Chain A
Amino acid sequence: MTKQATRDAYGKALVALGAENKDIVVLDADLSKSTKTAEFAKNYPERFFNMGIAEANLMGTAAGLAAAGKIPFASTFAIFATGRAFEQIRNSIAYPKLNVKIAATHSGVSVGEDGGSHQAVEDIAIMRAMPNMTVLVPADGEETKQAIYAAAKYDGPVYIRMGRLGVPLLFDENYKFEIGKANVVREGEDCTIFANGLMVAEAMEAAKELEEEGIKVAVVNVASVKPLDRETIISYAKKTKAVVTAEEHNIIGGLGSAVAEVLSEEAPTPIVRIGIKDTFGESGRPLELLEKYGLTKEDVKAGVKAVIKKK
């Protein structure tokens, strides 16, 4: 299967978007080769601002550009965007609801060799708890492209979480991403897997293999973590009466928490959350780390079987 890192899709989408809309500007913090904003910089040097290794100022400057009518994409690694510059995002971007797109790459343990200091496992929780913030976690290249376009069109702060690792291309141009909408990518009656990011591919593989065992599983891609598509989540939970969530993030505060919050209030359903179990990552090859931290199709399959028993 052809693979592409979501960061690569981001870099390409930015160049295309930059040609269409002159108000698109991009800021980076000395990581443009890694976040893939370098291609935009090459094409539109006057609209690219390297802020040096200074993430707080990067976010504040993006806020000022937005206040003066620009549509800034502020890029760095997820850990530095949401960690180092948390309060700049909170007070200079989200509080005044300024039109800044925080496009963060290198999320999760699939960062690999750089290790735990560089693997954001709590960024979604931080961004999701922030009023006015929209949080998007695309699953593949096509969805990333569409999420970037949707973010540019939407007036307000958006956090877009992307990865370093090449992931399978799941969707084509017939796929339709929309902020606030979940996408049902596979139907099934026995259980629903709500997944996002690189775990969507794992969930789809898991569902395929489970069908061979006679277990029919629906897969719902929840790329829009906030706003959350409550309607789809509730209806699939009610329909299948068992739920698994799968994400490359701490099980505290991310998609699993978001789904559990909705279901516990609206449609209590047996649930198993697949995610990083409240621990930091470490150095290693990405695929080995995903296995070690319980983020493979095998873990998803085990989760489905466990939750079905709870029915």
Chain B
Amino acid sequence: MEILELKRMANQIRQNIITMLVPAKSGHPGGSLSAADILAVLYFQEMKIKPEDPQWADRDRFVLAKGHAAPVLYAALAEKGFFPKEELLGLRQTGRMLQGHPDMRKVPGVDMSTGSLGQGLSAANGMALAGKLDNKNYRVYALLGDGEMAEGQVWEAAMAAAHYKLDNVTAILDLNGLQIDGATENVMNIDPIDEKWRAFGWHVISVDGHDIEALLAAFAEAKSTKGKPTILIAHTIKGKGVSFMEDQADWHGSAPSAEQGEKALQELREEVASLD
């Protein structure tokens, strides 16, 4: 996809997030909106996937370690054609497919069930080890949250990925600076986060997580980095794209009302119009 199309897709993903969260009446808009550009690049440029064959053995894999951002994943999967967009309106509702956190047994295109923070990177590593054993050249992507950096298992997995030289793993850290209880630096300071990953043996790339071109370049650099895993430290804004949600911890885990949703969609429609 062209850069402009990817920007439009990121906007469409954001609109989908709002559209599905309003009827759900609960869910996580902030950390979904912050990752919309990253998922647009992954699902519409970077990853080799076949929506018509979600279990394709040679596909690239994606693990949403920060599983509460399920809306951004569902939005991207629906746009890509893994399931009908109407399903988005059933988010979090009894008997429907789209669970509050990703469920690989229910949703086509979800490669790993996640939601309990700290566990996603381990699973991504396992997929990457299997890929190497089978001499397959698929890549595995994992999107982690910055609040999640406090989980010990993340660092067990970080150590193991470097130990096993998993250069087919690319992690992306959605560094939006906020978690439920407030600013990450106040809840549990993770800095210097780039030095930590470097010390654990990773190739570290710092990138603006809302700059499509920069993201494309970073993923290309990750792909050409051999002998070690790569992490993109993606500097993002929580709630990105909706003015009243931006940089507000309170929008971590509460859904917009119908009125707020309409206001958010209006802003996003104006944004996409301004792209042309």
Interface residues of A (CB under 8 A from B): 25, 46-47, 49, 51-52, 54, 56-57, 59-70, 72, 87-88, 91-92, 95-97
Contacts and interface: CB of A to CB of B under 8 A. Distances in A.
A95 B160 CA distance: 24
A61 B133 contact: no
A275 B163 CA distance: 43
Given A49-B164, A52-B159, A64 B113 contact: no
Given A57-B160, A60-B119, A63-B123, A95 B113 contact: yes
Instruction: Give chain B's interface secondary structure class.
Output: helix
A1 B161 CA distance: 47
A72 B123 CA distance: 12
A130 to B, nearest CB: 14
Interface residues of B, number: 35
Interface stretch (B149-157, B228-236, B244-252): B149-157
Interface in B103-151: 103-105, 111-113, 115-116, 118-131, 133-134
18 contacts: A25-B129, A46-B133, A47-B133, A49-B164, A51-B156, A52-B156, A54-B156, A54-B160, A56-B119, A56-B152, A57-B122, A61-B126, A64-B126, A67-B61, A67-B126, A92-B116, A96-B104, A96-B113
B123 A92 contact: yes
A65 B127 contact: yes
B1 interface: no
Contacts, number: 109
B57 interface: yes
Contacts of B156: 51-52, 54, 56-57
Give the 8 A-B CB pairs with smallest separation, nearest first.
A64-B126, A60-B122, A68-B130, A57-B156, A64-B123, A96-B113, A54-B156, A65-B126
Interface in B13-49: none
B47 to A, nearest CB: 15
Contacts of A56: 118-119, 122, 152-153, 156
B163 to A, nearest CB: 8
A86 to B, nearest CB: 11
Contacts of B103: 95-96
Contact of A51 (B104, B111, B130, B160): B160
B179 to A, nearest CB: 19
Contacts of B119: 56, 60, 88, 91-92
Contacts of A64: 63, 112, 122-130
Contacts of A70: 126, 130, 133
Nearest to B118: A56
A67 B127 contact: yes
Among B61, B103, B120, B125, chain A packs the most CB atoms within 10 A around the CB of: B125
Contacts of A57: 122, 125, 153, 156-157, 160
Contact of A54 (B112, B113, B159): B159
A69 B57 contact: yes
Contacts of B163: 52
A54 B155 CA distance: 10
Among B122, B134, B160, chain A packs the most CB atoms within 10 A around the CB of: B122
